Amino acid sequence: MDQHPDPDPSAAAPKPSPREAAVEALMRLAAEQPWNDIEIGDIAHEAGLTLAEFRELFPSKGAVLGGLSRIVDRKVLEANSSDLADEPSRERLFDVLMRRLDAMTPYKPALRRISYALRGDPLSMLALNGLALNSHRFMLAAAGIDTEGPLGRVKLQGVVVAFARTVEVWLDDEDPALARTMAKLDQEIGRGERFMERAEDARRLTAPLRAVARSLFTRRPRRERAGTAGDGEEIDPAAAI
């Protein structure tokens, strides 16, 4: 009887897309050398891409971190969350954010070094906050928590801050059970819940004042209103993002 060798597991593994290859390349480099020493040419070479191919995928080294964020987003969102449907919102959010940390685990050494390198760079931190807002909008959706309405932006930014504080603990948590990380995440979610309760109370108390302000505002001629362009068209604040 003929004996057939076991197939090579690496041969069956799907080849990563060029975008994924660039992300993985940056993570390998960042795990071994300082963030500020990594050049876009290094990433392209490590990923097996030409500079022209890399340029079609990402405009900068930092943008590759956005690619990583989308990869992590997809891993979390592809997971089956049907077992959480009957859980309280706090438990659903806790589970989703722990799944996010699980998805980030293969990149932990690189993320630790990147985090330390960017802490003193306010412009980079601002850009990362914008990236996190996009990701956590989907994390909240996965947890069945709405982000629309008057306090939706506050809720979203609160989750970003809570997760960032949790990640600071996670990066140095070497316990496989992640006891410190889970305790920190639970604490941050509880803190966020209390803040949102106060924000909701404040919004209800100030509702009459807002109604008066809207009434006064709508009675003013259009050309006298603040936040309009010279031709009378209102300026979209999102245009500056």
We report the CATH number of the domain holding residue 200 as 1.10.357.10
Answer for the pair 23, 64: CB distance below 8 angstroms, yes or no: yes
Q: What is the pLDDT of residue 7?
A: 54
Structure tokens, 39: 């050049």
**Distance (Å, whole) CA 96 – CA 79:** 9
Torsion of CA 215, 218, 220, 224, to 10 degrees: 130
Can you list the pairs that 123-127 forms with residues at least 24 positions away whose Cβ atoms lie under 8 Å? Answer: 124/62, 127/62
Coil, helix or strand at residue 228: strand
Q: What is the pLDDT of residue 192?
A: 79
Whether 241 is in a domain gets the answer: no
Whether 154 is in a domain gets the answer: yes
**Distance (Å, whole) CA 21 – CA 27:** 10
Whether 8 is in a domain gets the answer: no
- Work out how many domains the chain is built from and give that number: 1
First CA to last CA distance, the chain: 68
Whether 235 is in a domain gets the answer: no
Residue 170 is given by DSSP the state H
Q: What is the pLDDT of residue 3?
A: 54
What is the widest separation between alpha-carbon atoms in the chain? 93
Answer for the pair 139, 97: CB distance below 8 angstroms, yes or no: yes
* 236 Cβ contact partners less than 8 Å away, ≥ 6 residues apart: none
Domain that holds residue 32: 17-216
Answer for the pair 140, 147: CB distance below 8 angstroms, yes or no: yes
Whether 238 is in a domain gets the answer: no
Residue by residue, pLDDT tens for the chain (241 residues) are: 455 555 555 455 678 899 999 999 999 999 999 999 999 999 999 999 999 999 999 999 999 999 999 999 999 999 887 777 778 888 999 999 999 999 999 999 999 999 999 988 888 888 899 999 999 999 999 998 888 877 788 889 999 999 999 999 999 999 999 999 999 999 999 987 876 766 564 545 444 544 444 555 555 454 444 444 444 444 433 323 2
Report how far Cα 204 is from the mean position of its chain's Cα atoms: 30
Whether 184 is in a domain gets the answer: yes
Whether 140 is in a domain gets the answer: yes
**Angle between helix 18-30 and 40-47 (nearest 10):** 120
- Summarised one tens digit per residue, pLDDT across range 122-151 is 888 888 999 999 999 999 999 988 888 777
Whether 239 is in a domain gets the answer: no
Say which amino acid occupies 91.
E
